[in-house]
């Protein structure tokens, strides 16, 4: 059952549950951050509408900079602003930023300790028809290996707004990952959110004896993990679903606490299984508490054009694939 302590959306599984893309939360959070602090500035590289930078640009035209199709320049100009008292947010699709401009981010933002927030949009395979060129599935890995960088992957539009506002308050470089498609809104404004603090969204219902697997998940695919938990409960299999919205710094304590209870773990992400959330969790567990582990994510391949649901099914990230992974993890105990 949904963790009653977290004020999650009670209508989450209803057919008419509210759906919004996480990028909308970026747009809301950016305006709120701009209202709260006049040093917040926004930069965009010819994707102002689709990265939801538009509302900020309209409200604060003097604090918005259009860079044109030049992601490397966007990162480096932001680096200069960020060491001069400003709090720049830069936005593009994640394959271009932090993809194309990774070295500029490494040298002039991370190593330089410039107060820049990098918003990578259209992450994951659920970008859909645009195809593999626009589906970022490596961005968590390339950003979490960078010293001095924090990595936030919000699960819905409300959490995305909170993550964006939080990033403005934290000193130093932050990578924020957003997604294109409308996805169910799982949290509410009442749901607790703090960077670096993972939250247990699902716990076994009263009739189920004890959780057998910890499903650790990030991003909009958290909905699939919750749907899988519901399916499993029909078969009397209890699980924990941990929304791990901060990949770095990783909430190691909460992860170990959950895994000690379950003795097996499944990670779920719209990202390569190498180097992403699964990699981060595996590093922690290998060190402190090794248990059987299964990975749901992209298996060293590129995506393709298609509808988001079709792609998640084809590439084994749908509800059914998570259910299978959980059963496999239990068998390996």
The least CB distance from residue 268 to other proteins, in Å, is: 36
DSSP string, 8-55: --TTTTSTT--EE-HHHHHHHHHHHHHHH-TTEEEEESS-TTTTT-HH
Check residue 257 and report its DSSP letter.
H
Restricting to residues 82-101, which ones interact with other proteins according to CB under 8 A?
82-86, 88
Residue window 54-83: x/- pattern of binding to other proteins, with contact defined by CB under 8 A? --------xx-x-xx-x-xx--xxxxxxxx
Quick one: DSSP state of residue 94?
T
Given a contact cutoff of 8 angstroms between Cβ atoms, the answer to whether 217 and 268 are in contact is yes
71 labelled catalytic: yes
Which of 22, 53, 97, 104 is in the footprint of other proteins by CB under 8 A?
104
Give the Cα separation of 252 and 288 in Å (integer). 9
Among residues 285, 250, 249, 251, the alpha carbon closest in space to that of 266 is found at 285
- The secondary structure of 146-179 as a DSSP string is STT-EEE--SSHHHHHHHHHHHHHS-S-EEEE--
Residue nearer to other proteins on the CB measure, 62 or 207: 62
Catalytic residue, candidates 49, 54, 66, 71: 71
175: β partners: 118, 151
- Least spacing, CB of residue 117 vs other proteins, in Å: 14
Binding region for other proteins (CB under 8 A) out of 3-11, 102-110, 171-179, 227-235: 102-110
Tokens 């626009």 — which residue? 134
321 binds other proteins (CB under 8 A): no
Closest approach, Cβ 210 to other proteins, in A, equals 50
Binding to other proteins in span 16-55, by CB under 8 A: 41
CB of 36 to other proteins, least distance (A): 17
Residues of this chain that bind other proteins (CB under 8 A): 41, 62-63, 65, 67-68, 70, 72-73, 76-86, 88, 103-104, 107-108, 111-113
Which positions are annotated as active-site residues? 71
């Amino acid at each position: 059952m949904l963790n009653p302590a977290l004020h999650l959306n009670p209508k989450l599984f209803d057919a008419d549950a509210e759906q919004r893309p996480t990028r909308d939360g970026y747009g809301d959070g950016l305006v709120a951050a701009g209202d709260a602090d006049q040093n917040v500035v926004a930069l965009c590289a010819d994707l102002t509408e689709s990265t939801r930078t538009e509302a900020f640009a309209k409200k604060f035209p003097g604090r918005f900079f259009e860079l044109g199709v030049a992601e490397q320049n966007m990162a480096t100009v932001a680096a200069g602003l960020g060491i001069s008292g400003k709090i720049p947010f830069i936005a593009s699709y994640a394959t271009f930023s932090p993809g194309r401009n990774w070295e500029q981010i490494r040298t002039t933002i991370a190593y330089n300790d410039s107060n820049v927030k990098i918003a990578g949009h259209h992450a994951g395979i659920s970008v859909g028809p645009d195809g593999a060129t626009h589906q970022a599935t490596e961005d968590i890995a390339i950003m979490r290996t960078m010293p001095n960088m924090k990595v936030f992957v919000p699960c819905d539009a409300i959490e995305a707004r909170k993550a964006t506002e939080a990033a403005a308050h934290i000193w130093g470089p932050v990578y924020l990952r957003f997604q294109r498609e409308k996805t169910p809104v799982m949290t509410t404004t009442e749901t607790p959110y703090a960077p670096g603090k993972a939250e247990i969204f699902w716990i076994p219902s009263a009739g189920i004896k004890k959780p057998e697997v910890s499903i650790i998940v990030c991003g909009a695919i958290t909905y699939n993990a919750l749907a899988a938990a519901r399916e499993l409960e029909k078969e009397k299999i209890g699980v924990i679903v941990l929304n791990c919205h901060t990949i770095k710094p990783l909430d190691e304590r909460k992860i170990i606490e959950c895994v000690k209870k379950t003795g097996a773990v499944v990670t779920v992400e719209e990202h390569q299984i190498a180097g992403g959330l699964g990699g981060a969790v595996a590093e922690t567990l290998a060190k402190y508490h090794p248990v059987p582990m299964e990975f749901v994510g992209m298996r060293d391949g590129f995506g393709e054009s298609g509808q988001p649901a079709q792609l998640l099914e084809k590439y084994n990230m749908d509800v059914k694939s998570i259910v299978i992974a959980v059963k496999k993890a239990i068998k390996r105990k």
